Structure formats: C-alpha cells, structure tokens
C-alpha cells in the first residue's frame, strides 16, 4: 500500500472525505508548482471547507423542495415594472430576513409571484439559511396527516425549523374550519421565529370567506402582516405573453 493510499485512508477516517478523494491531484499540483508544506496543507484545507459548504447548500436545496430552480437573475423587471430596481435589490440583500419580516406577494396568475419567491428562497439557501417551499394544498395535507404519517412529520419538522417558509398559492382553495385552525397554529408557531413569503391571487380582504371563519382569518392576517412588506404585482401573464407555438410564422 502506497503512502498516498495510506494518507487517503487516514483522511477518510478523520472525515476529510472530499480532500481524500482529490489528494493525488493535489500532490501533482504541489509538485508542479513547488508548493511549500504550508501552502500544500492550506490548499487541502481550503478545498475541504469549500466542498463541505457546497454539500450543505446542496442538502438545504434538496430539503427546500423547490418545484423548479428559478433564480432572481432570470427574473425580468421589464416584464414586471411594478417593482423598482432599488426595491428588487433590497429584496435580494435579504436584510428583511434577518429582521424576521414577511413578504406578501399578491397578483393574478403568471405575473412572477412564485418566481420571485423561489428566487429569494434559493438566494437564502446559498447564504446559509434553511428554507422550505410548500404550496397551500401541500401544507394543509401535511398538517392533516401529521399524526399518522412519518413523512409528514419529517417535512413539518424541517418546515418549523426553517429560517424562511414559502407558502405558494395561499387561499387558492377554500378550507373548512379544521383546516383553517391547523393553518393558524402553523402561522402562529412561525410568528417571531421565521420569515414567511406568501404568494396569493386573493387579497387579504377575501381570506375570511375562503377560510370560512373571519376570526381565524383575522388572527392569521394579524401575524403575517405585523412585520411585512406587501407587494402588489400587476400586468399580463408572463406565460401567455411568452407562449410558444408549434407552428412556424
């Protein structure tokens, strides 16, 4: 057994797995560049740290459960002029997340609400925050099955421990009193513990009717709106505007 192989074995035993896998290449580079022992060791340690951070981000991205990878760089302010460049940059800075502010993105279908929410979620994960993305239908189903489903328990545990929770299409469907009560307890748990991004095509004034209980609707809205930025998006559907055709012009 060569010294390189022995060293790789020792590194893996000390959980320096990423560096162990690349050790032969590091040695080649060190010999070619005539690196000192200190420079070589520093290079190995920096690589291990970088790969560990990347793997954490990869894990958090998987846990976030984004339906699609849409970054803020691919969002067109030209198509959504209701958001000014300064406002967009302030959202990207994530200062509101550290202050436990909520974002409520309102507007008709196709104007970019979910794109912005996912983009901010991905940016937050890249900055080291824990994020969970769920649709309204998904979160209600998770809450209703939490007592009997291990999968729901795991998902909700991650959600409740997140720094940012994104609930897409809030109030897209009407709820009965039990479902509304479950949603209230979730929002109440997240209040002052995490930031929440809500996307909805229904204004807060319509929430009471969809929840079937004005008192619960008022309690939910009170906690979401206390520290929040409400952004009303307008315009035509991006999907309709940029639709493609199978026919040539």
Q: Indicate the average pLDDT of the chain.
A: 85
Which residues on adjacent β-strands are paired with residue 246?
Answer: none
Rounded CA-CA distance 176/167 in Å is 18
Is it the case that residue 230 has pLDDT exceeding 60? Answer: yes
Reference 103, options 179, 173, 175, 194; nearest CA is 194
The whole-number average pLDDT for the span 14-24 is 86
Helix (H) or strand (E) holding 36: none
pLDDT of 235: 63
Domain ranges, ordered by start, for the chain: 3-56, 72-241
pLDDT of 155: 94
Cα dist from 108 to 3, 19, 81, 102, whole Å? 64, 49, 15, 20
Lowest-pLDDT choice from 150-159, 175-184, 196-205, 234-243: 234-243
Rounded CA-CA distance 42/54 in Å is 18
pLDDT of 149: 94
Q: Which CATH number fits domain 72-241: 3.30.360.10, 3.40.50.300, 2.30.30.40, 1.10.10.10?
A: 3.40.50.300
pLDDT of 208: 66
Q: Where are the alpha helices (DSSP H) in 113-176?
A: 113-126, 136-145, 150-160
Lowest-pLDDT choice from 57-61, 91-95, 242-246: 242-246
pTM: 0.80
- The residue among 145 and 6 whose pLDDT is bigger is 145
The whole-number average pLDDT for the span 26-40 is 88
Rounded CA-CA distance 145/7 in Å is 49
């Amino acid at each position: 057994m060569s010294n390189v192989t022995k060293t790789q074995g020792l590194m893996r035993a000390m959980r320096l797995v990423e560096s162990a896998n690349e050790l032969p290449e590091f040695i080649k580079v060190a010999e070619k560049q005539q690196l000192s022992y200190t420079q070589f060791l520093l290079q190995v340690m920096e690589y291990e740290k970088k790969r560990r951070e990347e793997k954490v981000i990869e894990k958090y991205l998987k846990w976030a459960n984004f339906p699609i990878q849409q970054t803020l760089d691919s969002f067109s302010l030209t198509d959504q002029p209701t958001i000014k460049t300064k406002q967009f940059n302030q959202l990207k800075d994530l200062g509101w997340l550290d202050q436990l502010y909520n974002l409520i993105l309102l507007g008709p279908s196709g104007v970019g609400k979910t794109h912005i929410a996912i983009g901010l979620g991905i940016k937050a994960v890249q900055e080291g925050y824990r994020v969970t993305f769920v649709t309204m239908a998904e979160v209600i189903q998770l809450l209703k099955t939490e007592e009997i489903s291990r999968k729901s328990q795991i998902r909700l545990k991650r959600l409740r421990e997140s720094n940012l929770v994104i609930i897409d299409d809030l109030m897209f469907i009407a709820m009965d009193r039990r479902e509304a009560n479950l949603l209230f307890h979730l929002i109440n748990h997240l209040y002052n513990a995490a930031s929440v991004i809500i996307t909805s095509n229904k204004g807060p004034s319509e929430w009471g009717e969809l929840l079937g209980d004005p008192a619960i609707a008022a309690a939910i809205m009170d906690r979401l709106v206390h520290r929040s930025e409400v952004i009303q998006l307008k315009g035509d559907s991006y999907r309709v505007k940029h639709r493609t055709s199978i026919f040539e012009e």
